[in-house]
Amino acid sequence: MSADSPIIKKELREYVDILGYSESELLKKNREETKKLGPISIMQVGAAQGAFLSILCKCGKFKNCLEVGVFTGYSSLCISSAIENDSRLTVIDNNNEYLDIAKKYWKLANVVEKINVIKKDALEALSELKSNSDKQFDFAFIDADKANYVEYYDLILPLMSRGGILCIDNTLWKGRVYDLDNQTDSTKAIRSLNQKIKNDKRVEHSILTIYDGMTICYIK
């Protein structure tokens, strides 16, 4: 069962947790191990979201995927298990402790060969990918520190091919996006990104009310 959904009421959340997805034994194990890290485990994506990412990647038959923010590996497991053997997932995270847990699960899921790890600050890593102009991603998932969300979007969009899909997590931010008394850096950055995407003619988008909100952008 996933951690509490921050934006849907308890009864509905419980209903979704019973019928809304089928979580593999390995993903359950990953979620249980992550819970042992304490309150920080809230950073993990919801199970319904993981299932959604998996279906999306199966339908999209993406060849070159990117994830910014790995944590203990849940979403990277969903993405890498869904793509074909000759497809690749580049992941970026700057935390060794989390990456070590993720690596253990990639091994168990037999997806190590598909994953290219960049252990670096995401802004630095993305700037380097930007200078390597032949790098084109057809799928990307942004789920790292929220304060840099606009910068991540700006750096990733030019790296994406037309027809590609960009997903961004936590875009409803437990409802803090509409609470104007909340002016933290993270909240302000998510608000700015939501506004930017709304005005961005390069993409077609939808904010999904799944888990903590996830925006899906189609690159035109």
Ligand X SMILES: C[S@@+](CC[C@H](N)C(=O)[O-])C[C@H]1O[C@@H](n2cnc3c(N)ncnc32)[C@H](O)[C@@H]1O
Binding footprint of ligand X on the chain (CB under 6 A):
43-45, 69-72, 74-75, 92-95, 98, 121-122, 143-145
Contact 169, 212 (CB under 8 A): yes
Q: Which is nearer to ligand X, 58 or 220 (CB)?
A: 58
Q: Which is nearer to ligand X, 70 or 203 (CB)?
A: 70
| Owner of token pair 């042992």 | 36
From the CB of 57, what's the least distance to ligand X, in Å?
A: 13
From the CB of 213, what's the least distance to ligand X, in Å?
A: 13
From the CB of 169, what's the least distance to ligand X, in Å?
A: 7
Q: Which is nearer to ligand X, 60 or 134 (CB)?
A: 60
50/97 Cα distance (integer angstroms): 22
Torsion of CA 172, 178, 183, 188, to 10 degrees: 50
166/158 Cα distance (integer angstroms): 11
From the CB of 11, what's the least distance to ligand X, in Å?
A: 25
Q: Which is nearer to ligand X, 192 or 220 (CB)?
A: 192
Q: Which is nearer to ligand X, 72 or 90 (CB)?
A: 72
From the CB of 122, what's the least distance to ligand X, in Å?
A: 3
